Every structure is written in structure tokens, then in C-alpha cells.
Structure 1
Amino acid sequence: MELDPRRCYSALKARDARFDGRFFVAVSTTGIYCRPVCTARTPGQDRCSFFANAAAAERAGYRPCLRCRPELAPGQAPVDAVRTGAHWAVARIESGALNEGDLERLAAEYGLSSRQLRRVVETEFGVTPVELAQTRRLLLAKQLLTDSALGMSEVAYASGFSSVRRFNHPFKTRYGLNPTALRRQARPPAHADVITLKLAYRPPLDWPRLRAFLASRGAAGVECAQGQRYLRTVSLEIGGKTHRGWIAAEPLPQQNALRLEISSSLMPALAPLLARVRRLFDLDANPRIIEEHLCRDARLKPIVRRQAGLRVPGAFDGFELALRAVLGQQVSVKGASTLFGRCAAAFGEPAGFESAAMPREALQFFAPTAERIAQADLRELIVLGLTKKRAETIRALARAVAAGELKLEPGVNIEETMQGLQALPGIGAWTAHYIAMRALGYPDAFPHADLGLMKTLGLRKPGDMLAAAEPWRPWRSYAAHHLWASLK
């Protein structure tokens, strides 16, 4: 990825938050690399080198700044990088894919050999997949050393290292610091069974609208809102083991970050958990670029301007989102939430949290899995208030996901997955686009036959809606959410 040094330096001088995470600046006289929003005195341009990612800066021998903390920088949304499997492979690596598996297996998921994937990633990002993985582990460890009270062995394992020795050596070699020297000398956390971290984003972020969207569609017992906080149960399988717990997020607007509380039971799944949380809240989006593009349309401009920082809510789990989408067909948002709550109570595992930080009554169930619903009798689904056809659709969806015939996660082939969804009984284009929008992270999904979307622009025919939306590419998902939000 080529960077224009003049543009990068201008962004650095302005401390422009739009470029946070899009490049890093390294200073030759200090041997340190920083985010473009770093509050340190701006160095002369002749001392600056610019890198597209942290791994490339570290490969060149630079250490991360202790003031701006590069490990907190937001990531890149899919449309910002190459439109190939390389971006999603990198996203998988950064979420810990190489902690549990090897490069050959990861490459096979994208129809490549390990050699091809290595070449593509190095061409696009300037580093090898292994270097990316190591930098991600080290930066996560640095964040945990700074922001948590975890012991050294816990930090090592949570970051993806197989032992404390394998953690200590590269940390000292790469950063010139002993991990214990970085341990923050502060009062211990309020709750010993909770990890608290910060997740940065590019401003603005319309948190009230995002939280309200998720909370209004949430199922009692699986997720909820308490004031400005969003809470939900979490169940993740890592290395053949299932790790269960909860998360709670709230905004830190002055820091352009979210404060994320994580139950310590989820520590072994920390890297993939953080990746899912970032997708859920769409934290890697660049709202100013998206909004500037959409505002070129005179009809959209006043709507977008009133809703600055709107995000496209993602999904914590693809099957869970798809299940909610099917349950929401031809019923109100409240009705769909009620049905999903019944599903969770009938097929989800009970939570039973025993934590002072999480009242037992707030979160009671884990979301039901595809495997569990795939085994359900139709009568078990119908008794929840579903029609026979809707029950058949849900079971067919669950069986396809459980059998591996459908993968509902970012990085899959969008067209093939949408075709696979629509091949199931009871799933049409609207539902497929909605799933692509939220579960697959596809920013250009657009259910053009949606009556609400047509109503906002005074259109009557789906074809007219599709034609009107053509200039909004590749951000039609964001346009759809702006239009839906304007109806309220």
C-alpha cells in the first residue's frame, strides 16, 4: 500500500483523527513510531517515515510510542483495503487465527496456498503474515500490561503466546523493555474478575443511536442496555474449548474510544473477542469519508448531516444475526425481539453469572447455536409462536450453518453466500441483503425493495430505488441505515 508522504505529514501536523489507524509515522531520531493523532511535538518532515501498518514500522526497527499507544488505533474497514481475500486474511490473523492454526489452513479458507497468501499479504501490507501475527500479539500484550491487572503469565497466554518465555524474549527484543517495567502502577480494578480495555474509533460516533438500535432488537436475557452501557453474553469456541462470559461497553467520547469490560472467563478468547466487538460496533469505519460520499446526493445530504457518525451495526455471531433476521420477517421489531428471547430461553444455555460487576438478572442466557437448533423438532419451534413455514426456514438455516454449508462471517464470498441463503426455503433477497449487511460486513448490501427505504424518497418501484442508490456505491448499507433512521 503506497502512502503519499506530503498528505501524511499534513494529516500529522493537523492531528487529523480521520487518519488514525490508516498510517503510522516513525521518527528517525527517537526510533519510535506513533499514531497521527499523537500529542507529542510534531517532528520535522525530514525525520519522518510513514508506514501503512504497525507491523511494517516494527519490521523497520521502530518501537511503539508509550504516549499515543499504537495498539489502540482503529483498524481498516474492508472497503479501505484490497478487495481480495488478503484483507480478510489479515483481519483473521489480527484476531488470533495463527495462534491456534497454521498459515496453510488459513490460506485454504480463501482458496490459496500458504505461499500465495504470503506473497499477496506481503505485496499489499509490506510484511509477512507471521510478522503481522507477532506484532498483533505484542501490541495486545502491551495493552494488557498497561490497562489491566493481569499477571505476566495471564498476559502472555491471553495475547496468544504459548509460554511466558516465548512472550518475554520478543517483547524485550522488539521494544527494548522488560514487560514488568511497563506494568502500570495504579490502583487495582474495582472487580478482580473483570478486564477493562479501551477500543478506539474514528470520530464521530453516534453511540446513542447505535446502542438504541442494538438494544431495541436485543433479546431479554442475552443483551440489554443500562443507561449508556450495552451488555451481552458471549460464547466463543477456541481450540476446541468453549469460553463463556459477558461484555459491557460504554462511550468515552473525549477519548474517541469505548470502554469495554470483559469477564475474566473470556481471557483465553481475547483476540477474537475484540475483533468481534469492533465489528459489532463498526469501529473501523471512517464516517467522514462515507458521509462525504453520500452527501454528494442532494436527497441524502440533509439526512446524513443530521445523523453524523451513524454506523452500520454488525453482528457478534453470524448465525445469531441470521436467526434474528428470519424471526423478524413480517413482524415488528418488538415482536422479533420477543421471539428471539423465547428462542434463547428454550435453546440457549443458562448464564448464571456470579459477579459483583454483573447483576444476575441482567443477562440470563447465551444465544442459541446452530447445532442446537438444527437438532430441534419442528414442534419445539412452533410452540414458540412460529408458523410451520417459519420454523422450517429456521431449522434449514441452522442445519446449513451447522453442516458447514453456509459460513456467515466476514471474508466469505458475498455472492455465493447470498445465493446459498436464498436457496433455503423462506429466505428472499431482503433477508439475504440484511444478513450480508450485518453478519458478513458487506458495506454495499442494499435491500432495495424495502418499503421504508422507498417511502423516504417518495418512490414506489423497487427498480427506481435501485437506480437511485447506484451513486451511493460502495456505501449503500450506510445509506440504508441513514434512511431507516430518518423514519423515526
Structure 2
Amino acid sequence: MHEDRERCVRAVQSKDARFDGWFFCAVVTTRIYCRPSCPVVPPKVRNMRFYPSAAAAQQAGYRACKRCRPDASPGSPQWNERADLVARAMRLIADGVVDREGVPGLATRLGYSVRQIQRQLLAELGAGPLALARAQRAQTARLLIETSAVPMADVAFAAGFASVRTFNETVREVFALTPSELRTRSRQQPSSGAISLRLPYRAPLCPDNLFGHLVATGVPGVEEWRDGAYRRTLRLPHGHGIVALRPTPEHVECRLNVTDLRDLTTAIARCRRLLDLDADPVAVDALLSEDPVLAPLVRKAPGRRVPRTVDAEEFAVRAVLGQQVSTAAARTHASRLVTACGTPVPDPAGGLTHVFPSVAALSELDPANLAFPESRRRTLTTLIEALATGALDLSTGSDWERACAQLAELPGFGPWTVETIAMRALGDPDAFTPTDLGIRYAAESLSLPTTPAALTRYSSAWRPWRAYATQYLWATGDHAINRMPA
């Protein structure tokens, strides 16, 4: 995108917010970089320079605009849409892997050498993994500075900086203000408890199926709907957290409590992934609207997102629990697992009681205590063993095709379970479940082919957005997953 200069210029001149996060516009005369929708008067075309990432603009010597705050724009949808090395690396960097494990840890997870990863990221994003992680640390530091009363030294280490000096230098370079000046300029009231922030997204956003699905399938004690917000517990690298997410017309309000501030970046990335906030709904809806059957559904409620997950391993377990049973039964099975193996957590603000059990905790569960048929027990225990031993990788940076192939080899994993995990846990935007009962009912009501093979052939026109087409098809039914909770 950033290499198409004419298109970038048009986006900046029209202040098109759809391209926020796709690229960044830097101005050579002011040494400032902005998002395309920056409200200031557009610079002269000859003074514009375009970069694929904030890190690349920062490396070129530009500082963030104080007006449009480009560091807080939605992320590029490419990193959730694609399954190649660069996209996998970007998902892991967003999840904080470089801060926790360094670039060698990133390389190990991806199965490539440090040099190969460095070369590919530089070629496509104009910055290497360290520079990309540094830009992310700067954004995390800004959030803590502006939304909390945490002492600056603690902010530095919580954001991932190795020293207070590096923290001070980076904040000044990126924002042209000292940390103390940033806190003084902030219009928000700092809090010593939960951290409140806004999660931006590209409009439009239809919250009905997004929040409706999460709440209707929520596990008691782990998830709840309270005071107009979806709340859930989080398992994080250094502890646990509780998040409350509330949709608004301009952004999603996010209120986070974490036991260790070093987990803030990871928690935010997982919440964005859960709500699919980096999607490009305009591109998705434009393609789906080319089908005369889907076009009325898109016009009725544009901007549907795919409800995803904060923990792929958790979701895979829950997908097995949901095989061939009702939503209510799946919730009951999951609740029993949580009570038996979950980690208890305090929640003074609501009714959350546990973090969903880790794979290690589930490995110690006696299968005889599971109220399932023998075949379902075998499916679940085999999955847990594969995850516990590392034979199956469902992490943020996993290889989608390999993971799906491995899942399909496990006993009890048919196409519905594999595609459901691909859609919601791995984030594949083209995952499709033609055997799903809701999809079959929708196909029949819309006079679409009803057999899985015929519907799969028909759906080829929806590629690469069949996961989104699934949301529109599900919305034709009268189910709680399609409605905002009361």
C-alpha cells in the first residue's frame, strides 16, 4: 500500500480513515508522521513520505503527531488476514514475544533464523523486529503515562524498556515530549487501579453478533455480561487479568486490571484480536456484496466481525466440549472443567471467579471424571496431550495450514471442529463450516445450495472472506448469538 504513492496521496488529501494503520504519512518539513486521516491541513505532495509502519517512520527520524496520535491507530489488517512469515511475526510481536523472549525467541517460535526474519521484516515493513517492538513499547508507555498514576520508573519496566534512561529517550524521540509532560498534557484522570483506554477500529462495526456470540457462549465464572460490557478473565504471561469491553459508536471502551503491568501490551493485543478490531470491513463487505444473496444482509448490518478468542488453546478445548451438543450444554461442560481445574481469581466488581484452566492443569484431570461419552473423552484427552507436549501449536504465530492438518489427524476432529478452530482460534478469515446446522438452515432459507459440497463450491466467490460470510449467514437465524445482550 505505502508504495502506491498516488493512492496514498489521495487518502491523505481526503483524510480517509479507512487507511489508518495501513500506512503512515511523514512530512519532511516538520519531521512529523501522521495517520492518513489526520485533521490538520494536508501537506504539499512534494513533502509527503510514506511508510508501512510507525517503526519505519520513527527510524527515519520522524516523531508522532500530537494531534492525530498515529501510534494509537488501528493495526494493519494484513497481520490478521495473512498466514505468511511476516504476518506471523507481526502477530507474535504484538503479543509481546520480543519483549519476553527477545528476537531469538521470536525466531525459534517461527522456525526461521534471526537473519531471515530480520531481512523479511525490513523488506516489507522498513523496520526489524527490535524497532517494531520498540514502537510498541512506546505506545504502551504512553497508555500507562496518560491513564494511570503508576510511577515513571515502574512505567518504564512495565512497558518493556531495559532502563529508565532508554524509556525517557524513546518517549522524547517518538512524542517530542518528556514522560512528565505527557502526563501533564493528558486530559484523562489518572487512576491507581484499572487502566481505561479506547480501542480504535475501522468503521463500520456491527456489535450485535460480536458481543452477542461471546456472551451467549460464555463460560460462567470466566465470562459475563454486566452493566453493558462483556467481561472476562485473562491468562497472561506474568499473571492474570480481568477486562471489561463496551462497544460505542467511535471505539470500544476497555477497562483492564492486570496483576503485572508487564502484561498490558499482551492484554491489549489479545482484546483487539478477540473483537477482530483490526479488520477492514469496507473491503470485506464490498466483496460479499457482489453476491446478490448476501448483499441485502450486508446492507442491513454492515461491519460484522468474527468473534475470536484471547486464548487459542482454551478455545480448542471448548470446541471439543461443544461437539454435537447445544450451546447451553457446552457451557455446562466448560463450567465444570473451570470449577474443577481453573485458577480462582478475585473480582470485587462482578461475578468472575476463575481463569480458564491451563493445558498443564487439564493434563492432570482424570478422564473418568468427565461426564462425556468415551469417544469424546478420548478426543479431549488426545487434544490436551498434543497441546501439552508441543506436538500441536495453536499460538498466535502458528502456521494455520499445518495446525489444521494436525488437528484433522486427531481422533474425533471432523471438518466442523477443525474449521471452527481455524476461524475463531487461529484467525483464518477464510475458514468455512458448510456442515454447521445454522449455516445449513441459512442456506435453505436463502435458496442457496444446502449440501456441504455444493455450498463449498458456491462459497468460492466469497473467498478470502468466508469466515465473515458465515457471520452474515448465521445472522439470518433467531439465536442469542446474533443479538446484543439486554
How does the TM-score come out when normalised to structure 2? 0.93
Give the structure 1 partner of residue 462 of structure 2: 472
Q: Deviations over 1:402-421 (max 9, x none)?
A: 11111112332222211211
**Helix, strand or coil for the counterpart of 1:101?**
helix
Give the structure 2 partner of residue 134 of structure 1: 134
Checking the alignment, whether the CA contact within 8 Å between 1:34 and 1:68 is kept in structure 2 is yes
Deviates more, 1:408-417 or 1:113-122: 408-417
CA distance in 2, matches of 1:158, 1:436: 32
Within 5 Å, which residues of 2 pair with 1:305-384? 305-353=299-347, 355=348, 358-359=349-350, 362-382=351-371
Give the structure 1 partner of residue 269 of structure 2: 275
Q: Shift of residue 189 of structure 1? A: 4.8
Give the structure 2 partner of residue 171 of structure 1: 171
Checking the alignment, whether the CA contact within 8 Å between 1:88 and 1:411 is kept in structure 2 is yes
CA distance in 2, matches of 1:94, 1:375: 31
Checking the alignment, whether the CA contact within 8 Å between 1:72 and 1:198 is kept in structure 2 is no
Read off the aligned partner of 1:132 and give its amino acid letter. L
Q: Shift of residue 207 of structure 1? A: 1.9
Deviates more, 1:367-376 or 1:428-437: 367-376
Identity %: 38
CA distance in 2, matches of 1:420, 1:295: 34
Give the structure 2 partner of residue 389 of structure 1: 375
Give the structure 1 partner of residue 482 of structure 2: none
**Helix, strand or coil for the counterpart of 1:234?**
strand
**Helix, strand or coil for the counterpart of 2:356?**
coil
Read off the aligned partner of 1:246 and give its amino acid letter. I
**For residues 209 and 456 of structure 1, do their structure 2 counterparts lie closer, same or farther at Cα, with a shift above 3 Å needed?**
closer
CA distance in 2, matches of 1:4, 1:89: 24
Checking the alignment, whether the CA contact within 8 Å between 1:147 and 1:184 is kept in structure 2 is no
Give the structure 2 partner of residue 303 of structure 1: 297
Q: Higher relative contact order by CA 8 Å / sep ≥ 6: 1 or 2?
A: 2
Checking the alignment, whether the CA contact within 8 Å between 1:193 and 1:264 is kept in structure 2 is no
Read off the aligned partner of 2:26 and give its amino acid letter. A
**Helix, strand or coil for the counterpart of 1:246?**
strand
CA distance in 2, matches of 1:285, 1:82: 12
Q: Deviations over 1:225-270 (max 9, x none)?
A: 1243110011212xxxx411201111232xx321211114241211
> Is 1:215 matched up with 2:215?
yes
Give the structure 1 partner of residue 399 of structure 2: 413
Give the structure 2 partner of residue 100 of structure 1: 100
> Is 1:293 matched up with 2:282?
no
> Is 1:439 matched up with 2:429?
no
Q: Shift of residue 428 of structure 1? A: 0.9
CA distance in 2, matches of 1:78, 1:186: 31
Checking the alignment, whether the CA contact within 8 Å between 1:319 and 1:370 is kept in structure 2 is yes
**For residues 266 and 465 of structure 1, do their structure 2 counterparts lie closer, same or farther at Cα, with a shift above 3 Å needed?**
farther
**Helix, strand or coil for the counterpart of 1:486?**
coil
Checking the alignment, whether the CA contact within 8 Å between 2:24 and 2:53 is kept in structure 1 is yes
**Helix, strand or coil for the counterpart of 1:33?**
strand
> Is 1:22 matched up with 2:11?
no
CA distance in 2, matches of 1:389, 1:83: 32
Checking the alignment, whether the CA contact within 8 Å between 2:382 and 2:411 is kept in structure 1 is yes
Checking the alignment, whether the CA contact within 8 Å between 1:456 and 1:487 is kept in structure 2 is yes
> Is 1:144 matched up with 2:138?
no
Give the structure 1 partner of residue 58 of structure 2: 58
Give the structure 1 partner of residue 442 of structure 2: 456
Q: Shift of residue 105 of structure 1? A: 2.7
**Helix, strand or coil for the counterpart of 1:334?**
helix
Give structure 1 stretches of 5+ with no counterpart.
none
Checking the alignment, whether the CA contact within 8 Å between 1:145 and 1:184 is kept in structure 2 is no
**For residues 49 and 187 of structure 1, do their structure 2 counterparts lie closer, same or farther at Cα, with a shift above 3 Å needed?**
closer
**Helix, strand or coil for the counterpart of 2:475?**
helix
Checking the alignment, whether the CA contact within 8 Å between 1:216 and 1:337 is kept in structure 2 is no
Give structure 2 stretches of 5+ with no counterpart.
479-486
**Helix, strand or coil for the counterpart of 2:259?**
helix
Give the structure 2 partner of residue 246 of structure 1: 242
Checking the alignment, whether the CA contact within 8 Å between 1:211 and 1:225 is kept in structure 2 is no
**Helix, strand or coil for the counterpart of 1:225?**
strand
Q: Shift of residue 150 of structure 1? A: 2.3
**For residues 186 and 140 of structure 1, do their structure 2 counterparts lie closer, same or farther at Cα, with a shift above 3 Å needed?**
closer
CA distance in 1, matches of 2:308, 2:80: 17
Checking the alignment, whether the CA contact within 8 Å between 2:241 and 2:257 is kept in structure 1 is yes
> Is 1:116 matched up with 2:106?
no
Checking the alignment, whether the CA contact within 8 Å between 1:351 and 1:365 is kept in structure 2 is yes
Checking the alignment, whether the CA contact within 8 Å between 2:233 and 2:352 is kept in structure 1 is yes
Q: Cα RMSD between the aligned structures?
A: 1.9
CA distance in 1, matches of 2:377, 2:8: 54
CA distance in 1, matches of 2:226, 2:435: 35
Q: Shift of residue 173 of structure 1? A: 4.0
Deviates more, 1:335-344 or 1:407-416: 407-416
Checking the alignment, whether the CA contact within 8 Å between 2:209 and 2:471 is kept in structure 1 is no
Q: Deviations over 1:386-410 (max 9, x none)?
A: 2222222212111111111111123
Give the structure 2 partner of residue 482 of structure 1: 472
Checking the alignment, whether the CA contact within 8 Å between 2:80 and 2:91 is kept in structure 1 is no
Checking the alignment, whether the CA contact within 8 Å between 1:344 and 1:366 is kept in structure 2 is yes
Read off the aligned partner of 1:420 and give its amino acid letter. Q
CA distance in 2, matches of 1:257, 1:138: 21
**Helix, strand or coil for the counterpart of 2:370?**
helix
CA distance in 1, matches of 2:273, 2:174: 29
CA distance in 1, matches of 2:442, 2:265: 40
CA distance in 2, matches of 1:2, 1:41: 20
Q: Deviations over 1:436-463 (max 9, x none)?
A: 1011011111122223323322333211
CA distance in 2, matches of 1:387, 1:81: 37
Q: Shift of residue 174 of structure 1? A: 4.5
Give the structure 2 partner of residue 402 of structure 1: 388
